[in-house]
A and B are shown apart, each in its own frame.
Chain A
Amino acid sequence: ETGVTQTPRHLVMGMTNKKSLKCEQHLGHNAMYWYKQSAKKPLELMFVYNFKEQTENNSVPSRFSPECPNSSHLFLHLHTLQPEDSALYLCASSQERGETQYFGPGTRLLVL
């Protein structure tokens, strides 16, 4: 099943770098999500986009900047990150509210 893809799968970056995570869904869904999964913490919802419009920003620091150019693509732009931002970043998509979210394989990010 390759309904939701994420690139890169692994990323190592310094605190002064700028990088972007990419997510693409091939399911025809209207909503896309970014989650952060840190060790020993529950999955944290970061952003929600519905029909390309951001509908939720869960108090995420401005060093994380999402972009949703269309319903199939979602980006997470990263700049001046901190070591505590090291985590697995998961993208998901769903058709409508209440519908099942399907997840991508995630990007494992390490900030040095």
Chain B
Amino acid sequence: AQKVTQAQTEISVVEKEDVTLDCVYETRDTTYYLFWYKQPPSGELVFLIRRNSFDEQNEISGRYSWNFQKSTSSFNFTITASQVVDSAVYFCALSEARTGGGNKLTFGTGTQLKVEL
């Protein structure tokens, strides 16, 4: 069974601080995909990044960066110089490839990030 653990329920930081959101996953699949989504108060889940299990390169996109380490089954997300607009719930998710088509996302419980002035 797949499992995604986001141990940090809520994080509060002051604007311009760096913050790292942790994600640990469990799967028996050799091929899988990892995702991060952002959910602002409006409710819509906004896609941030997808990483496949064969690509362990870290990625940077503006103030966002991701650290994927298969050895520790972790896929952590860092926001540099946080801003108030970053306040949201962030979800890490794991996808298994399914023979029936489509894919099944297993989500973590989310981390509520609050960025204050």
Interface of A toward B, CB cutoff 8 Å:
30-31, 33, 41-43, 45, 48-51, 55-56, 88, 90, 92, 94, 96-106, 108
- List residues of chain B with CB under 8 Å of any chain A CB: 31, 33, 35, 37, 42-47, 50, 52, 91, 95, 97-98, 100-105, 107-110
Across the interface, which residues of B come within 8 angstroms of A50, CB to CB?
Answer: 100-102
**B43, A42: Cβ atoms under 8 Å?**
no
Once the chains bind, are B102 and A106 in contact (CB under 8 Å)?
Answer: no
Kindly identify which residue among B102, B108, B110 contacts A33, using a CB–CB cutoff of 8 Å.
Answer: B102
The interface residues of chain B lying within 8 Å CB-to-CB of A100 are 35, 47, 50
Nearest chain A CB to B79 CB, angstrom units: 20
Q: How far is the CB of A11 from chain B (nearest CB, A)?
A: 13
Contact of B105 among A45, A49, A51 (CB under 8 A): A45
Question: Given A31-B102, A90-B43, A100-B47, 17 more contacts at CB 8 Å?
Answer: A31-B101, A33-B102, A42-B110, A48-B100, A55-B98, A55-B100, A55-B102, A56-B102, A92-B45, A97-B97, A97-B98, A100-B35, A101-B103, A103-B37, A103-B46, A105-B44, A106-B43
Q: Taking the nearest CB of chain B, how far is it from the CB of A12, in angstroms?
A: 16
Which residues of A have CB within 8 Å of B42?
A: 105
Contact A101 B105 (CB under 8 A): yes
Which residues of chain A have C-beta atoms less than 8 A from B107's C-beta?
A: 42-43
Tell me the nearest residue of chain B to A32, going by C-beta: B102
Within the complex, what minimum Cβ distance (angstroms) separates A82 from chain B? 22
